[in-house]
A and B are shown apart, each in its own frame.
Chain A
Amino acid sequence: MASTTKITVKPRSYAKILLHAAKYPHCKVDGLLIGKLSNNGRDALATDAVPLFHLGHGLTPMLEMALSQIEAYAESQKSSIVGYYQANEQLSESHTPDAFAIKIADKILSCNKFCSLIMVDNRKVSLSCKNDALVCYANAEGKWKQDTQYSLEHSEETLSTLAKLMTNKAYKNLNDFDNHLDDISADWTNVKVNKLIAEAH
């Protein structure tokens, strides 16, 4: 489908991806992007991110359960799953999608009109948040290639907001699906962190 879809990542999504990575710096972390398609599928807006796991990657049951729940949640917000993000453990070559990222992104793409595969470039992650640390891939004829159409909304403001959040250790409040499975009172929609992000803006 539309390999020419232009994806824009909103501040809340960007913040949550990086906060997730910061909460578990020694682990691989991943999650989903939720958002809307518009303009006949030519534009995609990633309005939110749902952090999934920091443990037990490569296994399917919890991932399948999480996908169903998050799909339903997205629908209730009049949105859909528009992407998958992953931050690897190693420092070097961290932004290349591995077999798992590709499998998951392929699976999402098969159930949705569009899916963006976003990797975190660990070398660009820092407390000062000087650079956009995301590398975006789009699917073209079955292969995932780097996406030149990706953009981060209000990038300067978004990065400085994130720097504030990092200094205040906002990532300690972030819940991923693993946290939820450990304690089901943990809210994976992260209402609290959404508020912190909005206030730091």
Chain B
Amino acid sequence: MAGATDWRSAVETLKQYREDNVRASEDIVELGEHLITNYRSKLGSEIWNIYEQIYIAALDCGREELADVCIEALRQQFPKSGRVYKLEAMGLEAMGNFKEAKEVYLKSLSHDKTNVGARKRLVAIYKAVGDHTSAIAHLNHYLEYFMTDQEAWMELCELYIKIMDYSKAAFCMEELILTSPYNHYYYQRCAEIYYTMNGIENLESARKYFAQSLQLNSKNMRSLYGFFMAASQLLQSQKISSKSKKDNSRYATWASAQIMERYQEFKSSSVAIENLGTILDSLTL
């Protein structure tokens, strides 16, 4: 694997993972371990971010010794750092010592109420032990002060879905859409929630949100399928007007054709795809 240019692309990859906040722990451990073992001197000041990143990934993969190497380096470089204390507490979490970890976070918060990292870790602990109610309460409290934190709204939405409070989950997505009206994923997720809630109005909302998502990103397959499903479901209802039936029939037919077109681009002979046309037709009946 070694090579003079290899280390540069490894650094680039790790940077991309940090920027996109991707949890690719296995990859990070593999790339990172190689970097800090063989190319430490070449990493410059980026090495501290890399140590932090590898530490978290190592905890994820159960690589205790690797995690120890990283945290030791960070401790030496940044003694008495709040950020390092948080990482050490995450190490406790990884061992299942939630009680001790919680104490560290609560202590940090008593010194600094704006310690976002500590607050979020508390929510993570509640999630890990299955206490969704507390996780939700904490997140709601957090969002009162940090209402533009998109990651927090997404997390809250997921928690509401877990406890099947779909209308609150939809509310979270609506908040996200307000702050980011060009994000196709937010519309898609919102639509999926409305679809799940069922009922004519909700299905119509779902269809509209799926359509909006598609306008922003025509490649969003989930939104295309979702648009088709919503229109088909509405078609099957007895309670809609004949104009609405006509419209939804048009929408379903259009979506069905779009779906088939996407799959035909692959000229795949997979049995699964051969059946698709029949399935789509049967769902619109």
Contacts and interface: CB of A to CB of B under 8 A. Distances in A.
A61 B130 contact: no
B114 to A, nearest CB: 28
A140 interface: no
A73 interface: yes
Interface residues of A, number: 28
A12 B270 CA distance: 19
Interface residues of B, number: 37
Nearest to B268: A185
B275 A73 contact: yes
A91 B128 CA distance: 9
A184 interface: yes
B222 A62 contact: yes
Contacts of A56: 189, 192
Choose among B191, B279, B283 the residue with the greatest number of A CB atoms under 10 Å from its CB. Answer: B279
Interface stretch (A36-44, A64-72, A143-151, A154-162): A64-72
Interface in B138-196: 161-162, 164, 189, 191-193, 195-196
Contacts of A189: 270-272
Given A58-B196, A59-B195, A93-B130, 20 more contacts: A26-B25, A56-B192, A58-B162, A58-B164, A59-B161, A61-B191, A61-B192, A61-B225, A62-B225, A62-B226, A90-B128, A99-B164, A182-B221, A184-B221, A184-B262, A184-B263, A185-B266, A185-B268, A187-B270, A189-B270
Nearest to B26: A169
A59 B229 CA distance: 13
Interface in B189-234: 189, 191-193, 195-196, 206, 221-222, 225-226, 229-230
B37 interface: no
A interface, by DSSP: helix, strand, loop or mixed?
A: loop
A60 interface: yes
Contacts of A91: 96
A188 B266 CA distance: 15
B225 A65 contact: yes
A188 B189 CA distance: 22
A188 B226 CA distance: 19
A65 B275 CA distance: 13
Contacts of B221: 181-182, 184
Contact of A72 (B60, B161, B196, B275): B275
A64 B222 CA distance: 12
A59 B196 contact: yes
Interface of A: 25-26, 56-62, 64-65, 68-69, 72-73, 76-77, 90-91, 93, 99, 181-182, 184-185, 187-189
16 contacts: A26-B23, A26-B25, A56-B192, A58-B162, A60-B196, A61-B191, A61-B195, A61-B206, A61-B222, A62-B225, A68-B282, A72-B278, A76-B271, A77-B271, A181-B222, A184-B221
Contacts of A62: 192, 222, 225-226
B276 interface: yes
A29 to B, nearest CB: 14
B58 to A, nearest CB: 14
A141 B266 CA distance: 46
Contacts of A73: 271-272, 275
Contacts of B195: 59-61
B192 A59 contact: yes
Task: Please provide the 7 A-B residue pairs with the shortest distance between their CB atoms, ordered closest to farther.
Answer: A72-B275, A58-B161, A59-B192, A61-B195, A60-B196, A61-B226, A59-B196
Interface string B105-127: 00000000000000000000000
Nearest to A70: B272
Contacts of A181: 221-222, 225
Interface in B245-285: 262-263, 266, 268, 270-272, 274-276, 278-279, 282-283
A12 to B, nearest CB: 17
Contacts of A188: 272
B128 A64 contact: no
Nearest to A27: B23
